[in-house]
Amino acid sequence: PIGVAGQIIPWNFPLVIYAWKVGPALACGNTVVLKTAEQTPLSALYVSKLFHEAGLPPGVLNVISGFGPTIGAALASHMDVDKLAFTGSTDTGKIVLGLSAKSNLKPVTLELGGKSPFIVCEDADVDKAAELAHSALFFNQGQCCCAGSRTFVHECVYDEFVEKARARALKRVVGDPFKKGVEQGPQID
């Protein structure tokens, strides 16, 4: 065990990333202090309550909610946190890394924003490629670090691909996410 594992999770996949961070830390015998995103604290708070109801001793799993510049910074710079894991933007990751280094030089694991490529080769099924590129870009309203936000298309199929990708994007149904057939609702920020 490392000791106290500080963890900062983002708003866009609050339950999945909670599980990715909390499960291994607890399985390795660590205690956890987890900071939720200020936009999505409820799922982490609820699952942590279930852990406690199942018999996890008090103080082993601790969840705090609040804003990054205050709560996140306090967690990253705290001398009693032995390791920090952060998922979020590259700019914030740099801040978290700096704060961790200035305190007790704790090890830090960063999962930061990316620019995932989507590559369409000259022998691709262009209809399928346009649909897959659309899904890669707009999954979770496009608000995730692995969105296919860079599309590289071979020049032989470029014009056809652009036409089909554009047509698919124009058909995207935006509206109330609770209504049937709606593909995209409001953005977080």
CA quadruple 53, 59, 60, 66: dihedral sign? positive
Closest CA to 44 of 71, 26, 19, 69: 19
CA-based nearest residue to 65, from 92, 40, 100, 93: 40
- Residue carrying the six token digits 């590559």: 119
Q: DSSP string of 99-158?
A: HHHHTT---EEEEE----EEEE-TTS-HHHHHHHHHHHHHGGGG-STT---EEEE-TTTH
If we measure between CA atoms, which residue out of 95, 99, 100 comes closest to residue 112?
Answer: 95
Active site residues: 111
